[in-house]
Amino acid sequence: MSEPYDAAARRAIPPVICYPTDTLPRPDLPLYQSALRDASVVETVTVPPRDARAFRAAAGQFFRIRCGEGPQVGDLNLWAAGNLSERFYSGKTRALHGTHLTTGDRMWSAFPYLRPMATIVGDSLGWYGQDEFGGRVHDVIGTRCDPHTHHLLSGQDYHHCCHSNLTRAVVAETGMPVAEAAAQVHDVLNVFMCTGFTRDTSQYFMKASPVRPGDHLDFFAEIDLIGTLSACPGGDCSSEHSSDTAACHPLVVEILAPRPGALEGWDSPAPNGYSGTHGL
């Protein structure tokens, strides 16, 4: 189909941000970061390669995801500890903060709660920025590698993809049946993963993560949390993300408690204040 006479003018119309964030509640980063500096590790959870583990962080604690023995990416799910229907909402988080998260960005929960679940307070890969391919780190674009899509594309069954790993971690933490646990697994924060969209076909791409042993992403728990983290079977995702041959390494989750009084004046955020009836 030929272009209309005003095609250039239509393309030249400037974009408008869908969700301006000027009035979005801001985290008190100096307070959080000060509290983290003096915080003590109270629990350490090691996530084996091609597997997942659950962890808990109380409101007012921190959790740190750390790269251990070699470059490795991970998939993170979060739930409110006392109410699994309140869980991380990657789509709304993306709409508010953009496709990739870093220090100062927050992980928001699903409707009707829509409140901060966790705030990123430290990112050792914050230096990476955007590379020449459009790649950035820590995305909320992708969903998670899963057995259904793997079967669709290859005809094969693969059970160490992140969806399956996260499902097993939910079963181990809660004791719920596998089918019920699988329904609880939701879209993730792809920790350490370097991703973007191709310029020609706008396809979601991945490339070798810049993460190295010792790199970490630090979170402040705004509410009582259950988290699950999968050490992706793609390793650093330099070639494929469902693989029995990629070099994979463990990830480490550290739970840190601030010293008493370090968070004076802070309160856990209440659920969203919308009181309507959805127009009904």
pLDDT band at 278 (very low <50, low <70, confident <90, very high): low
pLDDT tens per residue across span 100-114:
999 999 999 999 999
Say whether 225 sits in a helix, a strand or coil.
Answer: strand
For 10-34, the pLDDT digits (tens) are 999 999 999 999 999 999 999 999 9
Which are the contacts of 228, defined by CB distance < 8 A and separation ≥ 6? 52, 53, 54, 55, 76, 77, 166, 169, 170, 173, 185
**Domain range summary for the chain, segments of one domain joined by +:** 44-248
Total Cβ atoms within 10 A of residue 17? 8
Over residues 119-155, the pLDDT tens digits come to: 999 999 999 999 999 999 999 998 998 888 888 888 8
Q: Which sign does the torsion angle of CA 147, 149, 150, 152 carry?
A: positive
Q: Per-residue pLDDT tens for 53-103?
A: 999 999 999 999 999 999 999 999 999 999 999 999 999 999 999 999 999
pLDDT of residue 280: 62
8 A C-beta contact, residue 77 and residue 87? yes
pLDDT per residue over 221-256, tens digit each? 999 999 999 999 999 999 887 788 899 999 999 999
Give the separation between CA 123 and CA 31, rounded to whole angstroms: 16
Q: Which of 271, 218, 272, 270 is nearest to 61 (CA)?
A: 218
Per 3-state DSSP, the chain is made up of helix, strand and coil in percentages (nearest 5) of 20, 30, 50
Residue 27 tokens read as 């985290």
Full-model pTM? 0.95
Query: What is the rounded CA–CA span in Å between residue 19 and residue 200?
Result: 27
Q: How far apart are the first and last CA of the chain?
A: 43
Residue 191 Cα distances to 43, 93, 122, 198, 235, angstroms: 20, 14, 13, 20, 12
Q: Which two tokens stand for residue 58?
A: 């109380």
pLDDT band at 279 (very low <50, low <70, confident <90, very high): low
